[in-house]
Structure 1
Amino acid sequence: MRWWSAANLVSNAGTWMQLTVQNLLVLEITGSAAATGLSLSVQAAPGLLMSLVGGAAVDRWPRKATAAVSQALLGAVAFTTAVLVACDPLGVGVLMALAAVTGLIATVDGPACSLLGNDLVPAEDVPSAIGVGSLVSSAGRLAGAGLAGLTVGVLGTAAAYAANGLSFLCVAAVIPFLRPARPAGGTAPPAAEKDQDTAGDGLTMREGLAYFARNPRLLALAGVTGISAVLGRNYGLTLAVLVTGPLAGGAGAFGTVSTVLAVGGILGAVLGARLRRPSVRLVGALAAAGGLLQAVAGLSPSLALLLVVVAPMAVVESVSDTAGTTVLQTTPPPRLRGRVLGVWGSVRTGWGLTGPPALGLLMEQAGARGALVAGGLLIAAAVLAGHLLHRRRPAAPAPAPVSVALREPVLIPAPAQVPAAERPVPVGAPA
């Protein structure tokens, strides 16, 4: 797990470095902010439909081999982009095509690497492993954004793509040496249970969709995470406008806010790694708290007060993300986890494509402050409404208690099978 985490830290830093450089490169080629946003949408778009296929592939193929091949392919795309940038025949169409290929490979790589990391620890430590993954992701994002400017300034744009290619190869090289942990307790599940778990499973995408649609925990998690993704979280847009507009700050001020968000995300991931049995209720409570903090941030009269509010906001939302990921990855049975993550990838991509335009429209109507306040309050209100509806739903009938007088013959052996001296005596009968 230590080797895996170290390799993923390098890979995450490389990925965020490439994403930062890609935005700058598209902006340099086209001079259009809209084209820059389109390049990000093109890379995310394959996940809308192909995540279902990718999740089914992860359930069907050996996980270590799948992750190693997908990482190697991502490295090959990064090296190809580096060569094209260095030779200078790269147009925006080719760059977007390469971004789409990267997004397509990621539909398999994402669930494969997530589940492979969970395989490296005992079942009771999976929440901690997910927390470590969130910590690695946050730290890699912070490091990658900083390294991007340094690499481009010293070695050029092509070097950033080449460095990302090397980071993928770093992960691919570590995977063959990983040893999955034994099941909890050191024993394998009984053969009968194993057969029952896989019986009738054709590893089809339909089963993943059906399981997701029938599971109230996953549906509630999707609802909470979806409204948070659409009305919040897009702080690169909302806080940037707030800082540079009403608060009269510059790019340096927004950089400070971004750094505080990243540090808060790291601290939240550390706290999230300590969760042992997170629940959807906890995810909802944290999302509501984050929404209220977002509303307070929208009302901040100064940059200093905004920084005070942004820090706990980032911590709360990072813990919420870690708890939600744990629920998502541990709720389905092992045979369905790849496909359920595939369904989640499609849903998350839909939020990613819907959120920024919806939030941009809200900002046009209400301004940056209004969008933050209204979005935060709506998140908290939606979570509260969902909680109240859940409490009002009639509970499932509880199983009948075992009668003290033993009126449930199915719960005890037949008298002929029990020696007379060992038969239970009803209440009130002579001993």
Structure 2
Amino acid sequence: MSASSSLPTSASRAAVSRSPWRSLRHRSMRWWSAANFVSNAGTWMQLTVQNLLVLQITGSAAATGLSMSVQAAPALFVSLLGGAAVDRWHRRLTVAVSQALLGAVAFTTALLVALDRIDMPALLVLAAVTGVIATVDGPACALLGNDLVPVEDVPSAIGVGSLVHSAGRLTGTALAGVTVGFLGTGAAYAANGLSFLFVAAVVPFLRPAPGAAREAVAEAPAAPARAEMSVREGLTFFVRRPRLVALAGITGISSVFGRNYGLTLAVLVTGPLAGGAGAFGTVSTVLAVGGILGAVLGARLHRPSVRTVGLLAAAGALLQVVAGLSPSLAVLLVLVLPMAVVESVSDTAGTAVLQTDPPAHLRGRVLGVWSSIGTVWGLGGPPLLGLLMEWAGARGALVAGGLLIAGSIGAGLLVRRRGGLVPVALAAKDGDVTGRSALGTAA
């Protein structure tokens, strides 16, 4: 079924098709969103207490950072293999198994904590195992959600997922303190284990909606030959696909110079604007509110393109430039809200392109490539930004970073307008997110 044939045909449903909640019309998507909320709450409950546990064991902030790096490291080295596994294996079965395995790791940690047998080497091993499983679980869960709704509802599914993530984070963080206070640290890990099992129990009952982006069960037997399921094919497709390379470039430069507000705005508020921790807390709250509003607006998108992502990222970068020149905290607060909104809408649009542009049999590997690239940005971005702040200060870093982002995106738009067919061009017309593959065999 084509994307156009799955569009609502009655006038009464026209407005629904633009609603940010339209993906929730589908029963399986409602169950999947509920399961994701429970899982996110459990995950953030565990993450909140994990740092406290490491500090309790070692008394070292450096050890806390090490445990986080060990868990993130597999995304850099194993994500390509994890993405290939997602393309090769039955989608729902993959999610159910990976969630059950993550639950087993959480229960193991809870048992070790309860028996007072936990130490730093054991925590690092468990963190590494969690990171490896996540290289499969992450893309599998993302694509499973898209499998449940029609193609035109994918942006809504992604926006709803972002809202669920935010709600789960707030809930999990709040429950962590209560749980540890009344039941102990091990109970938080056990609760996370139960949340994983809940997701695994829901998955077998999920069914794609008519016109869904991909019916994983039906397509599994007709998947491409094993020779075409290699990691290399996914990497080659990504490199030869100009719009994906452009998306990576936009997201990369924005992540390094425009998204680390926890660092740049913290220094700006507590430094030049002479605010304290409370003032930065207010800025962080406004950022969170803007992110939620942006997720709702992003969910209203119908067929976002790389050009959409680029224009939104450039707009956010220009707002960042003005924010860097803010004469007072009040002015900064006025600017922070639209900055967060634009960033969130851009993220939703970019994720929709990333998850719908590749052919169905390549999407897991494309997400694996993306995860590896994103890990490089995550690890390398803060040090680079820190060096820029050392040289130019908080204001200078915000202004220079914003101009660099906007200038790079503007240059890409000019190259495309002049007909340049280079990878950095913003190669996508609005609405064209299902174009032919750059590889002849991946149409």
The TM-score with structure 2 as length reference comes to 0.82
Unaligned runs of 5+ in 1: 397-431
CA distance 1:134–1:201, shift in 2 (3 Å) = farther
2:398 maps to which residue? Answer: 372
Give the letter aligned to residue 94 of structure 2: T
The question of whether the paired residues in 1 share the 8 Å contact of 2:147 and 2:212 is answered with no
2:253 maps to which residue? Answer: 227
1:351 maps to which residue? Answer: 377
Deviations along 1:88-140, one digit per CA (max 9) or x if unpaired, are: 33223322221111111100001100111011112222222122112212222
**2:64 counterpart of 1:45:** no
Cα offset, 1:348, TM superposition: 0.9
Which 4+ runs in 1 deviate beyond 4 A? 184-188, 194-197
CA distance 1:31–1:257, shift in 2 (3 Å) = farther
Cα offset, 1:351, TM superposition: 1.0
Alignment partners' CA distance in 2, 1:187 and 1:382:
38
2:296 maps to which residue? Answer: 270
The question of whether the paired residues in 2 share the 8 Å contact of 1:12 and 1:144 is answered with yes
**2:165 counterpart of 1:146:** no
> Greater CA radius of gyration, 1 or 2?
1
CA distance 1:365–1:153, shift in 2 (3 Å) = farther
Cα offset, 1:186, TM superposition: 12
Among 379, 385, 390, the residue aligned to 2:411: 385
Q: Percent identity?
A: 78
Among 84, 87, 91, the residue aligned to 2:119: 91
Alignment partners' CA distance in 1, 2:70 and 2:176:
21
Describe the SS at the equivalent of 1:89.
Answer: coil
Describe the SS at the equivalent of 1:202.
Answer: helix
2:355 maps to which residue? Answer: 329
1:34 maps to which residue? Answer: 62
Which stretch of the first structure deviates more once superposed, 365-374 or 322-331? Answer: 365-374
**2:341 counterpart of 1:315:** yes
Among 146, 149, 161, the residue aligned to 1:121: 149
2:237 maps to which residue? Answer: 211
1:400 maps to which residue? Answer: none
The question of whether the paired residues in 1 share the 8 Å contact of 2:270 and 2:276 is answered with yes
Alignment partners' CA distance in 1, 2:281 and 2:383:
23
CA distance 1:184–1:142, shift in 2 (3 Å) = closer
2:435 maps to which residue? Answer: none
Give the letter aligned to residue 306 of structure 1: L
Alignment partners' CA distance in 2, 1:185 and 1:240:
41
Alignment partners' CA distance in 1, 2:95 and 2:214:
25
The TM-score with structure 1 as length reference comes to 0.84
Describe the SS at the equivalent of 2:228.
Answer: coil
| Equivalent residue runs for 1:58-207 within 5 Å | 58-183=86-211, 198=224, 202-207=228-233
Among 306, 311, 315, the residue aligned to 1:289: 315
CA distance 1:24–1:389, shift in 2 (3 Å) = farther
The question of whether the paired residues in 1 share the 8 Å contact of 2:148 and 2:212 is answered with no
The question of whether the paired residues in 1 share the 8 Å contact of 2:250 and 2:310 is answered with yes
Unaligned runs of 5+ in 2: 1-28, 423-443
Which stretch of the first structure deviates more once superposed, 309-318 or 176-185? Answer: 176-185
Cα offset, 1:196, TM superposition: 10
What is the root-mean-square deviation of aligned Cα atoms in Å?
2.7
Alignment partners' CA distance in 1, 2:223 and 2:98:
28
CA distance 1:310–1:172, shift in 2 (3 Å) = same
Alignment partners' CA distance in 2, 1:251 and 1:180:
47
